[in-house]
Amino acid sequence: MPASKLDPIDRKILAELQDDGRMTNVELARRVGISAPPCLRRVRTLEESGYIRGYHGDVNARALGFEVQVFAMVGLQSQAEADLSKFEERCRNWPLVRECHMLNGEVDFILKCVAPDLSSFQNFLTEELTSAENVASVKTSLVIRCAKDEPGVPFDVLEDRLRQDA
């Protein structure tokens, strides 16, 4: 179901949960202006429909000792669907790879990796990533600092677009 099929209350529920997934159903219902039982039904429906994929804590990687964050741009020798799928599956099994995105253009995949230190990342890079089947090239960029890390979607942009389409 496209976002335009959601009513304003559903979109408000999603926006509120995106900002604070730990609030109680009673608080969520208060914020969106409905009573708790229908709010809970709506949340369950949004979960079942795939709009809400899960709930998690936003942990501080550096505070936990993961000092190194690297983006790795990976080029494959073959872009056949079977080879792409095999590489994606391998990425899902590498703990240091936190995100894996297939791209259009010069680079086939970009990986967001975290590691406790540069030595650990270097070991992963040389022993796992560059030696993986079908990997033709890897270029890495070490993150110096993060200026913005905003998960989710900008609901204000969605609401503006829906108003324009109406």
Q: What confidence tens digit (pLDDT) does each residue in 7-32 have?
A: 999 999 999 999 999 999 999 999 99
Do the first three CATH levels of 3-57 and 68-142 match, i.e. the same topology? Answer: no
Burial class, 157, CB count within 10 angstroms (exposed 0-12 / middle 13-18 / buried 19+):
exposed
Average pLDDT over residues 138-157: 94
Which amino acid, one-letter code, is at 93? Answer: N
Secondary structure class of 153 (helix, strand, coil) = coil
> How confident is the prediction for the chain on average, in pLDDT?
95
Model confidence pLDDT, tens digit, residues 81-112: 999 999 999 999 999 999 999 999 999 999 99
Strand segments, DSSP code E, in 7-161 are 68-76, 97-102, 109-115, 135-142
Model confidence pLDDT, tens digit, residues 46-65: 999 999 999 999 999 999 99
* Range 68-142 classified under CATH 3.30.70.920: yes
Q: State residue 165's pLDDT score.
A: 83
Q: What residue spans define the domains of the chain?
A: 3-57, 68-142
Calculate helix-pair angle for 8-19, 36-48, nearest 10 degrees: 80
Q: Count the residues in the chain.
A: 166
Average pLDDT over residues 60-78: 97
Secondary structure class of 95 (helix, strand, coil) = coil
- Encoded tokens for 68: 């190194």
Q: State residue 121's pLDDT score.
A: 98
Domain range 3-57, CATH architecture: Orthogonal Bundle (1.10)
For residue 52, what is the enclosing H or E element?
none
- Beta carbons of 83 and 134 less than 8 angstroms apart: yes
Secondary structure class of 149 (helix, strand, coil) = coil
Secondary structure class of 155 (helix, strand, coil) = helix
The answer to whether the Cα torsion of 151, 90, 59, 116 is positive or negative is: negative
